[in-house]
Amino acid sequence: MNIEKKECEATIASMNFIAAHIRKIASELDTRSVTSLVDSIMTSKRIFLMGAGRSGLAARAFAMRLMHMGFYVYVVGETTTPAVNAEDMVIAVSGSGETPSIASLGAIAKRIGSKLATVTSNRDSTLGRISDIVILIPGRTKEDIIYEDYHERRMTGYTQLAPLGTVFEISALVFLDAVISELMVRTGASEAELKSRHTLFE
């Protein structure tokens, strides 16, 4: 029995660690930036989501919910995604803000004249510096591993509780789902409306 409890301790500790981190982010969120993001989503002709790896999965999940809300939304890189134009909004999800492919696409979107929003842990990054809207979601990006103090890591157990970019990726996903809640309140959309647009092929 003691062995089973010990084996589960890391699971529970990790969940509590991440939950506490999300609560901290919520309490420190720059609401003006969030308001700008929501306003821009509501007024843009089309919305394009992009991100790489697990951040890309968070972006895709947000794109799906925006579709459920009735917005015209696309995921950058899909074969049926159309070209971006100046009336559109591009939302990037990148913990470091330095992922080469996403930073390059962000620069292209800006040259076209699109509004660019970035969800990132690094405001002073390539993406952060060129974005019209920056949503700061503090987290431990993969790049931080290089600089992390070995003794501090051993004391806190941080890597075991949330390895690589886990903290940012999960926090970004929770934040983006919360934005959907804000949009539902703003537009008066019901859960039944969202469900009516849900795919029948799952």
Whole-number pLDDT of residue 139 = 77
- Domains annotated for the chain, with CATH where assigned, are 14-186 (3.40.50.10490)
Locate the DSSP E strands across the chain.
47-51, 73-75, 89-93, 115-120, 133-136
Cβ–Cβ < 8 Å for 56, 50: yes
Whole-number pLDDT of residue 191 = 81
Whole-number pLDDT of residue 163 = 62
65 C-beta neighbours (distance < 10 Å), count? 18
| Structure-token pair, residue 96 | 């470091």
Whether the CA torsion 188, 32, 171, 16 is positive or negative: it is: negative
In 3-state terms the chain splits into helix, strand, coil percentages (rounded to 5) of 60, 10, 30
Work out whether strand 47-51 and strand 115-120 pair parallel, antiparallel, or are unpaired. Answer: unpaired
Q: What is the pTM of this model?
A: 0.84
Q: Within the chain, which residues score under 70 in pLDDT?
A: 1-6, 140-164, 199-202
Whole-number pLDDT of residue 144 = 45
7 an active-site residue?
A: no
Q: 117 - beta bridge partners?
A: 91, 133
Whole-number pLDDT of residue 162 = 66
* Order of strands, sheet of 133-136, starting from the edge strand that comes earlier in the sequence: 73-75, 47-51, 89-93, 115-120, 133-136
187 C-beta neighbours (distance < 10 Å), count? 13
Q: Any idea what DSSP says for residue 144?
A: G
| Structure-token pair, residue 74 | 């696309």
**From the candidates 28, 169, 191, 193, which is the catalytic residue?**
169
